[in-house]
């Protein structure tokens, strides 16, 4: 089994998912400044560019390895939103999303020796229930400070699933890691998570 996979991400959830799928890999966080690409207003394109830039930067340091670059873009009312920095900001975001829809664009790009080998972007639509202020407060109280680790301020794999009236997409895409398509590609080229 090939073991030259490098996950160019500091995300604990992505590392957990890839590990749970049985793949052997190392994790190396990219050093690119994501905010330098803020002038792009196309969510899908931005997700691709950021995933590629992360993978490409790590590829400079890890020659002959297959680098997995990932990114996720949050779009709400035609605006791209970034991660929040506090519980209060998280609360405001959930209040903004309340009863409305937003979109997540989750991308993976594979790079080897600074050459793009494969890429995918998955778009997910999510619509929140119309929540009461008490429901929002209760939810944030249960999640605590971990809420700021999620781009959209919910943990869909846990209590966050209770916030949504409609979801078009799968849980891996919502978590920012289109795992099904990645595994399908890796198996095609003789990588395997089955040990």
Structural domain boundaries in the chain: 5-188
Is the separation of the CB atoms in 179 and 16 below 8 Å? Answer: no
Q: What's the CA gap between 112 and 118, in Å, rounded?
A: 10
**Number of C-beta neighbours around residue 13 at 10 A:** 16
Predicted TM-score of the model (pTM): 0.92
Q: What's the CA gap between 165 and 100, in Å, rounded?
A: 10
Choose among 79, 90, 88: nearest CA to 38: 79
| Options 4, 38, 71, 173, the catalytic residue | 71
What is the predicted pLDDT for the residue at 34?
Answer: 73
The CATH code that applies to domain 5-188 is 3.90.950.10
Note down pLDDT in tens along the chain; length 195 residues: 456 899 999 999 999 999 999 999 999 999 987 766 666 789 999 999 999 999 999 999 999 999 999 999 999 999 999 999 999 999 999 999 999 999 999 999 999 999 999 999 999 999 999 999 999 999 999 999 999 988 999 989 889 999 999 999 999 999 999 999 999 999 887 777 765
DSSP string of 83-146, one letter each residue: --SSHHHHHHHHHHHTTSEEEEEEEEEEEETTEEEEEEEEEEEEEE----HHHHHHHHHHHGGG
Element (H, E) at 166: strand 164-168
What is the predicted pLDDT for the residue at 189?
Answer: 74
Is 146 an active-site residue?
A: no
Tell the residue number behind the tokens 């929540």, with chain if given: 131
What is the predicted pLDDT for the residue at 161?
Answer: 95
């Amino acid at each position: 089994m090939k073991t030259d996979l490098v996950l160019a991400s500091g995300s604990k959830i992505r590392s957990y998912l890839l590990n749970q799928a049985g793949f052997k890999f190392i994790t190396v966080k990219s050093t690119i400044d994501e905010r330098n690409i803020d002038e792009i207003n196309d969510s899908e394109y931005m997700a691709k560019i950021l995933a590629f830039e992360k993978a490409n930067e790590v590829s400079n340091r890890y020659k002959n390895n297959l680098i997995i670059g990932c990114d996720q873009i949050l779009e709400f009312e035609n605006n791209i939103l970034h991660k929040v920095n506090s519980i209060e900001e998280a609360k405001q975001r959930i209040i903004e999303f309340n009863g409305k829809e937003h979109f997540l664009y989750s991308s993976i790009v594979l790079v080897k020796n600074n050459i793009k080998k494969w890429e995918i972007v998955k778009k997910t639509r999510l619509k929140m229930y119309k929540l009461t202020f008490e429901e929002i407060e209760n939810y944030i109280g249960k999640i605590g400070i971990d809420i700021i680790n999620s781009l959209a301020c919910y943990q869909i794999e846990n209590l966050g699933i209770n916030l949504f009236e409609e979801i078009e997409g799968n849980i891996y895409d919502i978590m920012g890691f289109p795992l099904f398509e990645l595994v399908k590609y890796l198996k095609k080229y003789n990588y395997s998570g089955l040990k």
